[in-house]
Amino acid sequence: MSDKPHGVSRRAVLGGLAAAGAVASKDLRTASASPAVSAASPAASAGRLKQSVCRWPYSHIPLAAFCRRAKQIGLAAIDLLQIDEWPIAQEAGLDVSMGYASRREKFIETGFNDPTNHALLIKELEIAIPLAAHARVPNVIAMFGNRKPQIDESEAVGNCIAGLSKIAPLAAELGVTICVELLNSKVDHAGYQGDHTAFGIAVMKGVNSPHVKLLYDIYHMQIMEGDVIRTIRGNINWIGHFHTGGVPGRHEINGSQELNYHAIAAAIADLNYQGYVAHEFVPTRPDPFASLAEAFRVCTV
């Protein structure tokens, strides 16, 4: 796969975490929940967008050190952290822009498109959403899952609507948003069902909850369909979170790749988007923080 920092892919990072086991901090598990705040103050120099960075491309760097450097760059948050990692980012003065509901193998492949997965997924979210609310983590990630030969596209949409509708009331009650990710099935995630915006929008419209939205991954959707800015403009009400990455290769978002991320960032900001834009690219430079600082500048609009 192309998304490998020092030979480690996002899929491998998730698998390694699953092997380590789920250990949440005791205070998060036992404290009473309170509604999460969906928007936190960005760094003063960050412009109109709150920028974050996904943890997994930098997993070789100790989390506390990574958070310190991210804050120095001006980033507002760390993305895709496990529950027990949330306090580390927060102690560094950063927000957690999106958390995982669990450590589990085949996290991406196991999604709401298959009703046999619903009990597992809903149980995970029933545990994670109150913890996220208490910790003021505004978003938790979920997946549509890999295609099943016995389930056609329209049935898969219906299954996703049915499953997500069961957990949406808890998310709304506690002020946490479930963000379901769009991924490409052409390069990185063969067989993934939520590989086009239209599929995701059909599910979002069926659920029709302000606390169930799409994680629009710009890298993945450029590979599958392009037309990024027009798609974002036409569907912003259904989008709760963004990821970045250069195409091709999922590397830096500078002039070495085909997307104009400064224009994309400006288009998102012009829509008065209040969520996070999280960088999810694999740096190629010897100093990965130079690439991250560059991305921060590119998306400062």
pLDDT at 127: 98
Report the C-alpha gap between 197 and 67 in whole angstroms: 32
Tell me the mean pLDDT in the region 230-238. Answer: 98
| pLDDT of 25 | 40
5-20+48-298: CATH topology is: TIM Barrel (3.20.20)
Give me the pLDDT at residue 46, please: 75
Q: What is the pLDDT of residues 53-108, one digit of tens each?
A: 999 999 999 999 999 999 999 999 999 999 999 999 999 999 999 999 999 999 99
Domain chopping of the chain, boundaries? 5-20+48-298
pLDDT single digits (tens) 127-158: 999 999 999 999 999 999 999 999 999 999 99
Cβ contact 218:254 at 8 Å: no
The mean pLDDT value for 10-23 works out to: 44
Total-model pTM: 0.88
Confidence of residue 10 (pLDDT cuts 50, 70, 90): low
